[in-house]
Chain A
Amino acid sequence: DAKTTQPPSMDCAEGRAANLPCNHSTISGNEYVYWYRQIHSQGPQYIIHGLKNNETNEMASLIITEDRKSSTLILPHATLRDTAVYYCIVRVYNQGGKLIFGQGTELSVKP
């Protein structure tokens, strides 16, 4: 079973920051938090991952709380093309590192 909880849907205005929350209260010390997104009828796209420090790349920022029980993915300036389902996943290392997807958050960016 997936080990994360995300809101089923969110809206965001174009040009504004989109903040997508994720709860992973049972995360283990050596498990990473990964974020992927899936645009309709396409394969998932990797966004970012982190262990305990905040991370930033050209797509997004990942903020992980100090207790690591939750995290937030930030898209700083959302565009219409960011409309997608966003998946927060805890990487299960002792099972070969496979990715188990939960239900995700459907983000709608509106003009």
Chain B
Amino acid sequence: GAVVSQHPSWVICKSGTSVKIECRSLDFQATTMFWYRQFPKQSLMLMATSNEGSKATYEQGVEKDKFLINHASLTLSTLTVTSAHPEDSSFYICSARGTSANNEQFFGPGTRLTVL
């Protein structure tokens, strides 16, 4: 199957700093990428959907100014957590989908963010 990578796999930062997480589709062009977050013992929650070259669409309750998403190319999307606080500590997972809305989504391995 298609491969999606994330970098870094884990990060620890101080409260108030910003953290950038990268999501790459390694062997296919991803016209759409999705960002999820997952708290311990909970399911994945969709944060936003991004299409290459356009602004991301955020789910209700997700602060677009806090979670900045950029999808500048067909193989790269970034999520920046701005002014991170301890409550932003979570497992962030991206997924990517190819050129058709019917294509399967392939998920990255996730990034563990810990804010001190």
Binding site for B on A (CB under 8 A): 34, 36, 38, 41-46, 49, 87, 93, 96-104
Bound CA–CA A100/B44 (angstroms):
8
Residue from A38, A42, A44, A87 with most neighbouring chain B CB atoms (10 Å): A44
Q: Report whether over half of chain A's contact residues are helix, strand or loop; otherwise say mixed.
A: loop
Interface hub of B4, B6, B103, B105 (most chain A Cβ within 10 A) = B105
Pair B95/A96 contact, Cβ less than 8 Å: no
Interface centre among A38, A41, A98, A100 (most CB of B within 10 A): A98
**Partner of B46 from A34, A36, A100 at Cβ < 8 Å:** A100
Structural contact, A101 and B43, CB atoms closer than 8 A: yes
Question: Chain B: which residue is nearest A34 at the CB level?
Answer: B104
Q: Is the CB of B109 within 8 A of A42?
A: yes
Contact with A along B94-110 (1 / 0, CB 8 A): 01010001111111111
Q: How far is the CA of A41 from the CA of B36 in the complex (A)?
A: 14
Do A98 and B34 form a contact, CB below 8 Å, given A44-B93, A87-B43, A93-B101?
Answer: yes
Interface size counted on chain B using CB atoms at 8 A: 26
Contacts A98-B49, A99-B34, A99-B95; A44 near B101 (Cβ below 8 A)? no
Residue of B nearest to A85 (CB): B43
- In the docked arrangement, what's the CA distance between A99 and B110, Å? 16
The answer, yes or no, to whether B1 is at the interface (CB within 8 Å) is: yes
Interface assignment of B78: CB less than 8 Å from any CB of chain A: no
6 contacts between A and B (CB under 8 A): A41-B112, A43-B110, A44-B95, A97-B97, A99-B95, A102-B43
- Nearest A residue (CB) for B32: A96
Say if the beta carbon of B91 comes within 8 Å of chain A.
yes
Per-position 1/0 for B32-50, Cβ under 8 A of A: 1010100000011110010
Q: What are the 10 A-B residue pairs with the smallest beta carbon separation, nearest first?
A: A43-B107, A97-B101, A101-B44, A44-B107, A101-B43, A43-B109, A43-B110, A43-B108, A43-B93, A103-B43
Q: Return the chain A residue nearest B104 by Cβ.
A: A46
